[in-house]
Chain A
Amino acid sequence: MNSSVFFGLSSVAYILAMILYIAYLAFRNNTVGITATIVTVAGFVSQTMAILIRWKEFAEIGNMGLLRGVPLTNLYESLIFFVWCLILAYLVIEFKYKTRSFGAFITPVAGLALAFIDISGMSKNIQPLVPALQSNWLLAHVMMSFIAYSMFAVSFSTGLMYLIVTTDDKKEPAYIFWTGMLSLFIIVLAAMGLDYLTFKLAVKSQEELIRSFLFKASFRSESGAVTALSFAVSAGLFFLIWRFGGILKKVIAGVNISADTLDDITYKSIAMGFPIFTLGGLIFGAIWADQAWGKYWTWDPKETWSLITWFFYAFYLHSRLMRGWKGKKVAIVAVLGFLAVIFTYLGVNLLLSGLHSYGSE
């Protein structure tokens, strides 16, 4: 059977799970909760199947051994792997902490990643490896990076939840920060959706969509009116979220997760992610570059952004040691750290250029 069928099934399942988890959070109905878990597990199984099938297809096409043929060589495959790790991490947390309330915050990150794949119209084709990518170091590098990224995604979600439950005052910077962050995510995704709908027919190869048409249907539109309207709608959305953000707090507070638990999970996932990222993301990446180009570090944008991300999380770990920084401030750092991850992962390919192959297909 074709892997794309299973990928499709898992995408549907995750998006359904996201809705169910949010419904569970809102109504706290146990049947809904159990259904959400079942749907997530089903999606996970289906996605695992899909990855295995694609692995086999890929190894056969490139005529490589199974070890070399791990399908982790382009943006699409790596995003899929990221979602897989994230869902796995989530299921572990659900099982360990015996609560489903994180689901409503973690599954949307998976949903966003899947939506992003379709909205950006990135290539889903299997391509054989160009010579620079034929390296086991690269494989270890990419795999560990994405495991770390999914840990960071968890810390992002719990960090955001922490901010939501601990802020009251609408004038407080931390409150403005999280409402702004939430608005930003919704706005960017909506704007990209508009780009897709508007320019779907205009672009011949959809890979061009982001590079040439990012926000062209909204913020960067040729028509001044559309641009102005986009900003006005965004401001309005931010205002709404800012004004009614307290509702979210009530919802989360209703399911009895303490702020301390949230802080604990945020720290733990970073404490897991940081060493994995250091080893896989930075060290293995450097070894690969050394083997392939004869330079373990060249300050190219991708490498530099990995380093910046690393500094964000080093910042996080050290800021916990400073008096008065426990709590909201470190949660903000955790949230910002994940923005750096997203930029390292997507922004560098789509907005800056680099040596690396992702996104260049």
Chain B
Amino acid sequence: MEKQNNKSITDRVWDLFASVKLAIVIFTIIASTSMVGTILEQQADPEKNVKVLSKMFGLGHDSAHSALKVLDSLGFTNMYHSWWFVTLLLLFCANLIICSIDRLPHIWKLAREHIQPLPPELLDKVAIKRSLTIKGKASGAKELSVAALLKLGFKPAEATSANGVQFYAEKGNYTRLGVYVTHLSLLVILAGAMIGLFFGFNAFLNLPEGETTSVAYKDRGTEVPLGFELRCDNFEVDYYGQGDMPKSYKSWLTVFKNGKEILKKSIVVNDPLTFEGITFYQSSYGKVPNSEGRGIIILRAVAANGTAQNIQAKVGDSFMIPGSSVQGRILDFSPALSVDPTGRYFSYDEMLKNPAIQVAFTGLKDGNYTGWILKRYPNSWNLPGGERLEFLDYWGVEYTGMQVRKDPGVFIVYLGCIIMALGLYVTFFMSHRRVWVQIAEDKGSTRITIAASAHRNKAAFENRIDKLVGILNAGSKGESK
């Protein structure tokens, strides 16, 4: 592609941006700067990075500090949003676009150009060559060849010349464009990402059980109006067995618009709620500050004869078990109660890992009884007289932590991903395949010459051609019998 020196500036810039060399340079720069970005923690507390630097290079605190200052001024502590990284990405796009525009006409022509019959002397120059001689007349060989080509998915055309008959066919002309589809998909993905950046937002929302909100919060606490109201009805953590390994975090949400209930949905990690373009992701949870003791204990009291009733109570409250004379009074509460091997109870966590209440019962058959009822240990629900007190929930002190996102570009990003998958498939697993079959009669036998080419995956096509030869051989034997 080196031409004369007297090119205009624009031509030179064009050539630069149309070159794969620039792409290689940009790949290198993006990859190596990204490496730096993964070593320094991004958008982090400076002290953290000072530690990283002094650990990595054995620098003292002060020199690490000044090194960080330099890196910071170069944008390395928030590099993926820095002007120069964005510029790199833009250069990358320009490279891709111009390179494609530069080459597309040529490739387009190749794809549109239809296969022509080849004169025998050129057949020799084609990449894949096979030949065989079969007994019998050319007419038999012709029928056989057409059938075999059809079987391999080719629709042959026929040309007759002084040298005999030639069948020729091609498949997958447009697979040559696969690379461009792949490249296009990158632009689509980046465009989708841009749209998300400009027209979307990322926020979070810590919503206590029972509360309703119409806003979420961005990084520095700025409010983002949702355009509707969201209420957290309940939040719960499920555990594996009786251990503390969490199995799921689940929030029950209700959407209201203009005061009317629109929608109810429970969300878990990996299964968010989307309403009017805004998506709520379960991401964390926690205890509402100063909520100690304000929660509502939800119980289900079951009498010995099976009569049951739900009860809401607080610490200090008394209640009756329905259809019996048993009375209970809640004495104490623990957020996470466990029993040690000697049978003693202890509170091992501030979070509501296994809420428990201590209840004093009177009026039981065998007199009085005081015991702990633990939410996650159903064994502790049974009372000596056959009654049961089920601990269903401790409600109103936890909040659910949600990521709130609006991203109108995400569909475009996904569209780009689909295009990329298709493009890569076409690029790597398909090819423009051409085949010519020349048939010439020669003293009672017929000579078949096959020439074929594929613009990539030649070996795979060679196998197909060998299969073609196999079919022809088998067919000719079948005929001669």
Contact = CB atoms under 8 A, between A and B. Distances in A.
Contact of B20 (A295, A305, A318): A318
B35 interface: yes
Given A128-B240, A272-B428, A318 B270 contact: no
A29 to B, nearest CB: 30
Contacts of A62: 240
B24 A131 contact: no
A275 B417 CA distance: 12
B279 interface: yes
Interface string B261-272: 000000011111
B51 to A, nearest CB: 13
A287 B413 CA distance: 10
A299 B37 contact: yes
A296 interface: yes
Contact of A131 (B270, B424, B428): B270
Interface in B171-218: 193, 202
B42 interface: yes
Given A131-B247, A278-B420, A294-B279, A311 B193 contact: no
A134 B428 contact: no
Contacts of B268: 131
Given A62-B240, A274-B428, A278-B420, A291 B270 contact: yes
Q: In which size bucket is the chain B interface?
A: 35 or more
B202 A294 contact: yes
A235 interface: no
Interface secondary structure of B, over-half rule? helix
Interface string A279-306: 1000100111011111111010100110
A304 B39 CA distance: 11
A279 B268 CA distance: 25
Contact of B27 (A290, A293, A301, A315): A315
B283 interface: yes
B252 interface: no
B34 interface: yes
A19 interface: no
B202 A279 contact: no
B42 A286 contact: no
B336 interface: no
Contacts of B27: 311, 314-315, 318
A314 B25 CA distance: 12
B403 A135 contact: no
A321 interface: yes
A295 B405 contact: yes
Contact of A322 (B20, B247, B283, B424): B20
A293 B281 CA distance: 6
Contacts of B38: 301, 304-305, 348, 352
A307 interface: yes
Interface of A: 62, 127-128, 130-132, 134-135, 271-272, 274-275, 278-279, 283, 286-288, 290-297, 299, 301, 304-305, 307-308, 311-312, 314-315, 318-319, 321-322, 348, 352
Interface of B: 20-21, 23-24, 27-28, 30-31, 34-35, 37-39, 42, 80, 193, 202, 240, 245-249, 268-272, 279, 281-283, 403-405, 410, 413-414, 417, 420-421, 424-425, 427-429
Closest 7 CB pairs of A and B: A275-B424, A131-B269, A294-B403, A294-B281, A301-B38, A294-B405, A311-B31
